[in-house]
Amino acid sequence: MANNNEIAPSISDASVNVAELLAEDYVIVCDTNVYLGLYRFSPDYANFALDCLRAVQAHVMIPYTVKIEYNKHQRSEFKLRQDKLENSIIEGTMTSIDKQQKSLKNIFATLSTRQFPGADEFQSEIDEKYDELKTMLTDYFADRSVLSLIHDSWTDDVVKAFVESLVDGNQIMQDFTRDMIYAICEEGKKRYDKKVPPGYKDAKNKDGVRKYSDLILWKEIIQFAKEKQKNIIFVTDDVKPDWWNTENDKYEFLPQLVQEFAKDTKIRQSANNGVAGPSMKIVPFVSADFYDAISDSMNVPKPNVVEQALKITDKDYINMIEYQAFDSIYENLVYSGFQYVDESTLTYVGSEGIGDWEIVEHELSSFKRVEHYDDQITYELIYDVEMSSYSCDYLGRDDDSKDVIVSPDYRHGVTGQLTISVVRTVDMFMDFEDSSDFDSSEIVSGDFIESSYKSRFADEDDDNYVPGAYTTCPDCTRGINTENDGGNGFCVECAPNH
C-alpha cells in the first residue's frame, strides 16, 4: 500500500492510504454522479459503498453545484431503483415458473410419443394450473410492495439522507453569485472552443448554464481549496476525455487539470504580506477505486458479492466479448471494407471495382473505455486485421452469348487496424461472471494499406497461366484465350461436356 509520499497525484489508485490522507486534513469532494451512482448498484454493492462514505463522512464537503444537480435527479433515480428491484423479483419468479413448465412439457411430450393414455389431456390441465399460478403471482406483486420481500435496507432513500446530513452539518461549499456564474460561462465558451478541460464534451449534449456545470464544479473546488488551504480528494465517475485519460487500463486525471489546480490554489505574495503560499494537492479517484481504498485503509468490510464485482474489470469484460464484437460488424466489413482502405497504396484496381472482402485474420490489439454516462459505458476495441479481395477489368461481350468478358482477377491483400465502438448497459442485477452482452456496436474507423498484389496477367510462372487469357473456364478454372476458346464461356477441353 502506498504512503502519502508515494502517491502519483494524477492516477486513480486503489492502493492509496485514504486514512493517512485524512489524517493530514485532506477534504473529500464527490461529483454528482458518485451519489447518483449509488442508486444503480446492486443492493450489496450500494450498501458497501454507503458504508465507505459513512466512514469518511466527517471529511466530506459537498459543492453547491452538486447539491443542486443531485436534488434535480434524486427522486427519479430512487424510483428507477425501486422499479428495477421489483421487476427483477417478478421477472425472476416468472422465469423460474416458465422453466418448470417447459421441463414438464418435455416429459409429457415423451409420454404422448409412447401413447400413454390421457397424456395430452393431462398436459392441458397442467398448463391451466400454471396459468392460474402466474395470474396469482401477478396479482400478488401488484397489491404489495415487493421491496419488503427482499434483503434490502432501502425502504427509505438512504442516499438522500446521507446528502441531507452533509447539508445539515454545514458541510457544503459557498455557492457562486449569479454574476460569477455568468463570468464562468463566458470563460467556458472560450475554453470549450479550444477543448480546454473540464466539461467541453458536454457542449453538444447540454444547453444554457447546464453546459458549463462541470466547469462551475471545478471552479468551486479550486475556490474552496484556495480559501481554506485544503488538499482535495476528488471522486468522479465522469470518465470522458475532458476529465481523464484512460490508456493502458488506468484512469489518469488530465495533467492540465492537475496543473491548473496547483496554479490557481497557490496564494500569491501580493495577497499574503509578501509571502507566497504553497500550492494545494489534488488526489483523484473513480468511485470503485475510492471505495476499495477506504475499505483497505479503514477496515470497511466487503461482502463476498462485492469482492466478486470489484474483480470484474473492463479487461475481463472485453476478453469475453472480443470475438462477439468483431462478429457483429463482420458482414458490414465484408461488403463495405473498401471505404477504410487507402486507395493510394493499391497497385492497380480493375475497372469493375473491388469485390467483397474476405477476412483472412483478425486479433484484438487494445481497447479503452471512452465514456461512462449514466448506466451506459462505451468502449473502443482496436483490432489488427488482414483482408483480401479481387478486382478485374471489363473486356467486352461475347459475340454469340453476349456474356460479359472480364480479365483474370487481380488479387489484393490489405492489412491495418479497425476500431469498433461497443456500448454496454451496466444493470444493477447483471451477472458479473457472465456479462457478455452489449447494446450496440459499430465501426468507428479503419486504416488499411496494401500488403500484397498479384496479377494473373503477369504471373507466367503459375502452372495455370494462359497467355492472353480474357476470361476463365468455370469448370477447370484455366484461363481462356483465342487458341483454347471452346465457346459458350468454356475452354476447348470442357466445352464438349456442355
DSSP conformation letters of 258-291 = HHHHHHHHSPPGGGTTT-PPPPP-EEEE-HHHHH
pTM (global) more than 0.85 = no
End-to-end CA distance of the chain: 81
Taken as a whole, the chain contains a residue count of: 498
pLDDT for res 247: 74
373 and 294: one domain? no
Distance CA 337, CA 357 (A): 7
Mean pLDDT of the chain: 82
404 and 324: one domain? yes
For the record, the C-alpha cell of 100 comes out as: 418448470
Q: Is-contact 393 458, C-beta < 8 A?
A: no
Residue 144 lies in a domain: no
Distance CA 29, CA 60 (A): 6
Residue 216: C-alpha distances to residues 73, 239, 300, 331, 406 (Å): 18, 17, 33, 46, 66
pLDDT for res 457: 52
Q: Is-contact 420 323, C-beta < 8 A?
A: no
For the chain, what is the domain count? 2
Q: Strand, helix or coil at 387? A: strand
Residue 317 lies in a domain: yes
Distance CA 450, CA 388 (A): 9
Residue 495 lies in a domain: no
- H or E element in which residue 154 lies: none
pLDDT in tens, the chain (498 residues): 334 444 445 899 999 999 999 999 999 999 999 999 888 777 778 889 999 999 999 999 999 999 999 999 888 888 777 666 555 556 656 666 777 777 676 666 666 666 677 777 777 788 888 888 878 876 765 554 443 434 445 667 899 999 999 999 999 999 999 999 999 999 999 999 999 999 888 877 777 788 899 999 999 999 999 999 999 999 999 988 899 988 766 889 999 999 999 999 987 766 566 666 788 999 999 998 999 999 999 999 987 655 555 445 678 888 889 999 999 999 999 999 999 999 999 988 988 888 899 999 999 999 988 876 656 788 999 999 999 999 988 888 888 888 888 888 888 999 999 999 998 876 544 444 456 678 889 999 999 999 998 876 545 455 566 666 677 787 777 778 878 888 888 888 888 888
Among 275, 308, 341, the domain boundary falls at 308
Residue 110: C-alpha distances to residues 99, 103, 318 (Å): 17, 11, 42
Measured N-to-C along each axis, helices 119-143 and 64-113 cross at an angle, to the nearest 10 degrees, of: 160
Query: Of 316, 45, 313, 60, which Cα lies nearest the Cα of 173?
Result: 60
277 and 155: one domain? yes
Strand partners, 424: 377
Q: Is-contact 35 66, C-beta < 8 A?
A: yes
Among 455, 471, 493, the domain boundary falls at 455
Number of helices (H), then strands (E), in the chain: 12, 16
Distance CA 260, CA 180 (A): 19
Residue 128 lies in a domain: no
449 and 320: one domain? yes
> Sign of dihedral through CA atoms 298, 304, 309, 312?
positive
79 and 221: one domain? yes
52 and 192: one domain? yes
Residue 375 lies in a domain: yes
Residue 183: C-alpha distances to residues 177, 194, 195 (Å): 10, 17, 18
Residue 454: C-alpha distances to residues 125, 412, 476 (Å): 70, 7, 20
pLDDT for res 145: 45
337 and 304: one domain? no
Q: Break the chain down into helix, strand, coil percent, rounded to 5.
A: 50, 20, 30
Residue 129 lies in a domain: no
pLDDT for res 8: 47
Q: What is the pLDDT of residues 276-303, one digit of tens each?
A: 678 899 999 999 899 999 999 999 998 7
Distance CA 378, CA 349 (A): 37
91 and 57: one domain? yes
Name residue, grid cell 479517484. 285
pLDDT for res 13: 92
327 and 425: one domain? yes
180 and 298: one domain? yes
Residue 29 lies in a domain: yes
* Domain region containing 377: 312-455
For the record, the C-alpha cell of 377 comes out as: 459505458
Give the single-character DSSP code of 172: B
For the record, the C-alpha cell of 335 comes out as: 461488403
pLDDT for res 82: 67
299 and 316: one domain? no
For the record, the C-alpha cell of 483 comes out as: 487458341
Name residue, grid cell 479503452. 368
Among 308, 331, 365, the domain boundary falls at 308
pLDDT for res 198: 93
212 and 163: one domain? yes
Residue 462 lies in a domain: no
Distance CA 477, CA 494 (A): 10
pLDDT for res 46: 85
CA dihedral 118, 119, 124, 126 (to 10 degrees): 110
Distance CA 422, CA 370 (A): 10
